[in-house]
Structure 1
Amino acid sequence: MQIIDVLPLTILPRNQDQILNYYHTEKLERGAVVEVELNKRKVRGVVIGSTDLKSAKLGFKKHVSYELKHIRRVINPKPQVFEWQLRVASFLASYYYAPLGLCVKLVLPPFWGVRGYEMGGENKLPAEKTKIEEKLVIGNALENIEEQIKKYIGKNKQVFLLVPETFSADYFIERFKKYEPVFVTGAVSNKKYYENWKNIASGETKLIVGTRIGLFLPFANLGLIIIDDESNGLYKSEMAPLYNAVDLAGYVVRMRNSDLLLTGIAPRIETLNSFTKETEKSINKEAKIIDMTREIKDKNFSVLSREMKGNVADIAAEKKKMILFVPRKGHANFISCRNCGEAISCKNCSVPLIYYKVPEEKLICHHCDYNEAVPRKCPTCGSFALKAYGVGSSKVVTELNDYLKYFGINNISVIQLDNDTTGYDEEVQSDLVNKFIDADCAILVATQMIFNHRHLIKVPLIGIINADTLAHFPDFRAEERMFCQLMILRDMTDKLLIQTYNPENYAIKAAVGGDADAFFKKELADRKLFSYPPYSRLTKIYLRHRNEKKLAYGAKVLADKLAAVIKQDKKFANIKIDSSLPSFIFKEKGMFKWNIMLEISPYDIYNDKEVTNIRNELFRYMPDIWHVDADPVLTI
């Protein structure tokens, strides 16, 4: 008789044991798949280990107060979950404080458990390397990427190119087609994924381009992971476990004895501070700030400055192309009453409704899709003094078409690229981008969606409408995000015009001058003053609840409890509660949200695992309904 340690492939409360004990007549291999009973449910589980009942009997009598259940059936006695998969899942479960069973399910391929698809043999992990070669390339790194791919494939090594979305993948697959790359994403069929899986496991495929899921592939001889645009927010998962693919890549290269190359026009401050960096030579480009407060003083109330309009006319005359970048979609950001100052807000969310003028006048919430007709008078005070404020992409398109029509400019087409025109359809998005690329003379009015095509599009001129909205969130990374977007746009054009109401903003001035060093230096100084990353590690604990009062009370009780535990136990000395506040968007889809922010002394998440374990011990004092977000993208 054997006692079998089983990891159920389901979500268990994080403050409970993730590996459970069952008995079976025979010893089972680690990684075998079984069916067990859990809370009167049949669930699949992975065998973690086996112990002979005779040798464990005495210990069980002393320490176990429950009756062991038997394994219902053995689904597959051969290992179907490999050692490297368990290690990756354990890292995710530990650092991101997620259920281990959920993390194992994430690591497994989409075809796992489907009849007719076998996992095959396991590629043994190489001995750990004492020093990993990690490098950060700042700027346009396409030539550097190509050089590294050639170098490692020449050594008969595999290269994995991590991309944030499929459009970048399409670009790289076409650019490096001589290496016969494969594209790995969760959107392909099981048959195609399985085919790629086998070819990667055998070492036949040398260049793999993929999204986050590609980090869970069975590489035979991985030599290098390249991360394209490492600061891209799409690398952070929005579903549990809330992992960052850039940090996970750091773990994978250590596990697989490989090297790591990160690239980015403007990388994250934390990355910049941690890696050996190399800066690509940049071409001098024309960039200019347009002060919109002066435009208002000169009686120009249009969303387009006089200089921007002049450049539009020049583009049309020269039969060229340009991009107008607008950070927001819709017509206006909100409608407000000039009498009482109240904005018309969503009934489900604590945000103003976005004003749309075309195809019909209405107000829409971008968080829950609630919509209503535009009221004639203020719902709060009854005044008729309602006015729309802010600039969205559809307003820019309307004013641009009016300007072109007024001056009889009819040789240029205006294309709008945002979620309103694409309907979140990638095929429609590609069609609009190709329409712009193929046009002889066109203006593309685009939101952040344009960054999906940053490698593909190069134009003579890009104009930025209302750059200030790029840093509208009261978050310590707001200026960094603004600077990053401005620098990417700067790389996509020969001439950059930035319209702003705050021309002295240091991020805007640094982007115009192409002076990344000056921006990074100031950001580091500011973060050091307030102990923000990289001078600490932040972990956000948050909860959503329908009852505002119960949420606020529960947050206060938890914050006080954690503060007391930290004060009483010296092992938590490197952790402190930075804040306990309602979320910036306090109500979303009818649910209220509260954040408790923990500040932890900076540490190496790969080698200082004890610090992570101590942090997780603190979380055992937390009700399991609270969620954990390590290294959150937004702190608010």
Structure 2
Amino acid sequence: MSERYADVILNISHESVDRPFTYMIPEDLCGKLTPGTAVQVPFGNAKEAKLGYVLALRKEAPTGFQLREILGIAEKKVGVEERLLTLAVWMHEHYGCMLNQALKTVLPVKEAVKARPRKTGATGRGEAKDALLSRELTAEQQAVLSELRRAETEKAGGSYLLFGVTGSGKTEVYMRCIEEQRRLGKQAILLLPEINLTFQTVRYLEERFGEEVAIIHSKLSKGERYRQFHRAARGEATVMVGPRSALFAPFPNLGLIIIDEEHDGAYRNDAVPRYDAREVAAKRAELAGAQLILGSATPSVESWQRATQGEYRLLRLTKRAVSGAVPAEATVVDLRDELREGNRSVFSRALSEKIMVRLSRGEQVMLFMNRRGYARFLSCRSCGEALRCPHCDVTLTLHEDGSLRCHYCGYRTVKPERCPSCGSPYLAGFGMGTQQLVEQTGRMFPAARILRLDADAVRGKDGGQSILEKFRAGKADILIGTQMIVKGHDFPNVTLVGVMAADTELYANRYTSAERCFQLLTQAAGRAGRANKRGEFVIQTYRPEHYAIQSAAAQDYERFAAAELAYRRAAGYPPVLHMLTIQLAAKDETALTRAAALFADCLKIATALAAEAPQCIGPVNAGVYRVQDYFRKMIYMKHACYDILIQIKTAAEEAFRAQIPGGISLLYEFV
């Protein structure tokens, strides 16, 4: 007997329908439905049909229910494999989100919209093949590719950490691996942290593989996104490149997933579901029997531990690919000494001198400051109050045009004439952002041509590409920016990189602050001396003795990893222990306090029934307590066994939802 019933998940964002419903399959649709088919179904008293997705087919109907029929197959939808639905179910269970939220993430394209013609500088396939053959490989690149081909031949799949110093040729290894998958009739996904800031990699892909490359990024319209996923589903594209969402490309025969700069925080999705693209990629690769390659010069300590313990296979590129290129020479400047000796400028004497030398030679300079805006905040010199966002628990950032902006919710206002708290006219900016640095650099080096690249400067359609192209073409001498300027760019004429305030990340209120600091400094250092010109790297800091600063100056990742893992073991932080963060949010602060206490009680009861008790911390106020008028409280759970955390969380959530007051949002994140 053929399947006459289908379990369908509805495209409705509401907890009451966050489960599949069983429908009868009409005679004319028998044999035409598969898991993932988009269908139109009746629901409740709604006059219009609802969109749903088939999760499973069954021969027998559940008893005790009067079933309704599926109305038809939804047209103009991108089909999806059963494996993608399995992935959505896994995300639902793993991240504690609604099943419908997981499905909307895995199936991001809902309808076709007229797409604009695709603009590409791609060459033909023949040219791409010629270019491929003309590139020589280093001995290390050849060894890495041999290992990956051996595993592919043995159909071993598996996960790899490609640990390669900046400039060692990781991108060329990616290209060869993608070419191998195409030869085998398989498809590949390449994830980049911010595709608009890595346009050189995209151009490189298009030169190699032409129209077989599909590109996804946040600036695309709905129609353009639909077209790219549709091309993947129809087999017109064999390579999907983009940020997190590219991971869900509906490839029928996926053979490879690559995550470049795998350490980057952009791979964590801050919206619901709060997933880690690296974990989801590992699951998708497992379901597809595909290889997973995570590449970085500064791997996350989680990935490094997995590699050193054998969970990932470790592949190394220890030398720069360009003949004669060597790591930048580092200078660490103690800003305390500068201050003691009367230098109150943002530029240390060493950095000023080195910039002057570069300008005289016609070479380029990059200055890194990981804070945008004109000043960090505006404060009253009379009463000491800082101007704060009325919707978030943060100070407003002062910008060059006199506006005050919240970088959490987007709130914007003009700089007041007087202090809102005491009426004093004595308001002053404190701290420094990229806009003010541009101004001071212009005064210090008046002949220099200066460009700025930060989130405020890349709001246009090209996402900052025009700024980077202008700098690469030599139309500016100094590029000033936030972390955007240190991510994978290759500017042959840049011979000096200066970090203006290396301590910024060290003072961040998170256990990963040292790791983040080391990664940014190392990535910044990698921008200098990419060709055969000697590069220099200046770190300005108030904490020159810190192991993150010292390791970055020495370009010694393994030294840093050893010190950082020792700290994580002592403090009980991941990857030594698994940690689950539980966030409760509400606009009513009193209701939130009660709900957080209730959830904590539910956790205690669930913990008492578990074989081993985890360590629980909280409820405590989130680091930023209020965002967009929502107050937020956190509970943290730590345990060596991931499954125990899942069991306790699930039991506590069931008890909590039975008593939960309205207006409470609940989010989970595993770290």
TM-score by length of 2: 0.80
Asked if 1:45 is matched to 2:77, the reply is: no
Offset at residue 3 of structure 1 (A) = 5.5
Asked if 1:263 is matched to 2:295, the reply is: yes
Aligned to 1:222: 254
Name the aligned partner's letter for residue 279 of structure 1: R
Aligned to 1:354: 397
Aligned to 1:122: none
Offset at residue 98 of structure 1 (A) = 1.7
Aligned to 2:201: 172
Name the aligned partner's letter for residue 316 of structure 1: L
Q: 1:588 to 1:158 in 2, by over 3 A?
A: closer
Cα distance in 2 between the residues matched to 1:190 and 1:395:
37
Aligned to 2:373: 330
Asked if 1:277 is matched to 2:314, the reply is: yes
Q: Which residues of 2 match residues 106-505 of structure 1 at below 5 A?
A: 106-108=105-107, 110=109, 132-140=158-166, 141-167=170-196, 170-176=199-205, 177-180=207-210, 181-185=212-216, 188=220, 200-201=232-233, 205-275=237-307, 276-282=313-319, 283-338=326-381, 340-356=383-399, 358-359=400-401, 361-375=402-416, 378-380=419-421, 386-405=427-446, 410=447, 412-422=448-458, 424-427=459-462, 429-439=464-474, 442-452=477-487, 454-455=489-490, 459-493=494-528, 494-505=535-546
Per-residue CA deviations over 1:284-308 (Å, capped at 9, x if unaligned) read: 3211111111221122211111222
Contact kept? 1:364, 1:370, Cα under 8 Å: yes
Offset at residue 321 of structure 1 (A) = 1.0
What percentage of aligned pairs have identical amino acids? 27
Aligned to 2:622: 583
Aligned to 2:146: none
Asked if 1:526 is matched to 2:567, the reply is: yes
Q: 1:378 to 1:199 in 2, by over 3 A?
A: closer
Name the aligned partner's letter for residue 44 of structure 1: L
Name the aligned partner's letter for residue 478 of structure 1: S
Contact kept? 1:168, 1:455, Cα under 8 Å: no
Offset at residue 335 of structure 1 (A) = 3.0
Aligned to 1:36: 42
Aligned to 2:635: 596
Aligned to 1:120: none
Name the aligned partner's letter for residue 41 of structure 2: E
Name the aligned partner's letter for residue 496 of structure 2: L
Cα distance in 1 between the residues matched to 2:655 and 2:556:
46
Cα distance in 1 between the residues matched to 2:425 and 2:452:
32
Q: 1:582 to 1:400 in 2, by over 3 A?
A: same
Contact kept? 2:19, 2:99, Cα under 8 Å: yes
Contact kept? 1:4, 1:23, Cα under 8 Å: yes
Offset at residue 496 of structure 1 (A) = 0.9
Q: 1:84 to 1:368 in 2, by over 3 A?
A: closer
Contact kept? 1:212, 1:235, Cα under 8 Å: yes
Offset at residue 163 of structure 1 (A) = 1.5
Cα distance in 2 between the residues matched to 1:542 and 1:111:
29
Q: 1:329 to 1:109 in 2, by over 3 A?
A: closer
Q: 1:332 to 1:225 in 2, by over 3 A?
A: same
Cα distance in 1 between the residues matched to 2:461 and 2:488:
12
- Which of 570, 588, 593 in structure 1 is aligned with 2:610? 570
Offset at residue 524 of structure 1 (A) = 0.7
Cα distance in 2 between the residues matched to 1:351 and 1:371:
13
Q: 1:508 to 1:458 in 2, by over 3 A?
A: farther
Aligned to 1:60: 63
SS in structure 1 opposite 2:656?
coil
Name the aligned partner's letter for residue 548 of structure 2: A
Gaps of 5+ in 2: 116-151, 308-312, 320-325, 529-534
Cα distance in 2 between the residues matched to 1:404 and 1:566:
62
Cα distance in 2 between the residues matched to 1:382 and 1:553:
37
Offset at residue 349 of structure 1 (A) = 2.0
Cα distance in 1 between the residues matched to 2:158 and 2:598:
44
Asked if 1:549 is matched to 2:586, the reply is: no
Asked if 1:21 is matched to 2:22, the reply is: yes
Name the aligned partner's letter for residue 34 of structure 1: Q
Offset at residue 251 of structure 1 (A) = 0.9
Per-residue CA deviations over 1:449-479 (Å, capped at 9, x if unaligned) read: 2145624576100111112112332100111
Cα distance in 1 between the residues matched to 2:492 and 2:653:
47
- Which of 615, 618, 621 in structure 1 is aligned with 2:652? 618
SS in structure 2 opposite 1:213?
helix
Per-residue CA deviations over 1:543-595 (Å, capped at 9, x if unaligned) read: 3222222222221222122222212x125x35442332111111222221111
Contact kept? 1:544, 1:594, Cα under 8 Å: yes
Cα RMSD between the aligned structures? Answer: 3.4
Name the aligned partner's letter for residue 173 of structure 2: N
Cα distance in 2 between the residues matched to 1:497 and 1:595:
38
Offset at residue 131 of structure 1 (A) = 6.1
Contact kept? 1:540, 1:597, Cα under 8 Å: yes
Per-residue CA deviations over 1:302-349 (Å, capped at 9, x if unaligned) read: 111122222222222112210111111222212334555432322222
Contact kept? 1:539, 1:628, Cα under 8 Å: no
Per-residue CA deviations over 1:147-167 (Å, capped at 9, x if unaligned) read: 433444454443322222223
Contact kept? 1:316, 1:441, Cα under 8 Å: no
Q: Greater CA deviation, 171-180 or 491-500?
A: 171-180
Cα distance in 1 between the residues matched to 2:561 and 2:392:
35
Contact kept? 1:184, 1:211, Cα under 8 Å: no
Cα distance in 1 between the residues matched to 2:637 and 2:562:
25
Q: Greater CA deviation, 193-202 or 298-307?
A: 193-202
TM-score by length of 1: 0.84
Cα distance in 2 between the residues matched to 1:339 and 1:239:
40
Cα distance in 2 between the residues matched to 1:463 and 1:169:
21
Cα distance in 2 between the residues matched to 1:82 and 1:363:
48
SS in structure 2 opposite 1:345?
coil
Q: 1:456 to 1:628 in 2, by over 3 A?
A: farther
Contact kept? 2:486, 2:527, Cα under 8 Å: no
Q: 1:192 to 1:367 in 2, by over 3 A?
A: closer
Offset at residue 427 of structure 1 (A) = 1.9
Aligned to 1:119: none
Per-residue CA deviations over 1:338-395 (Å, capped at 9, x if unaligned) read: 5554323222222122223x33x34333223434454565544566665432111122
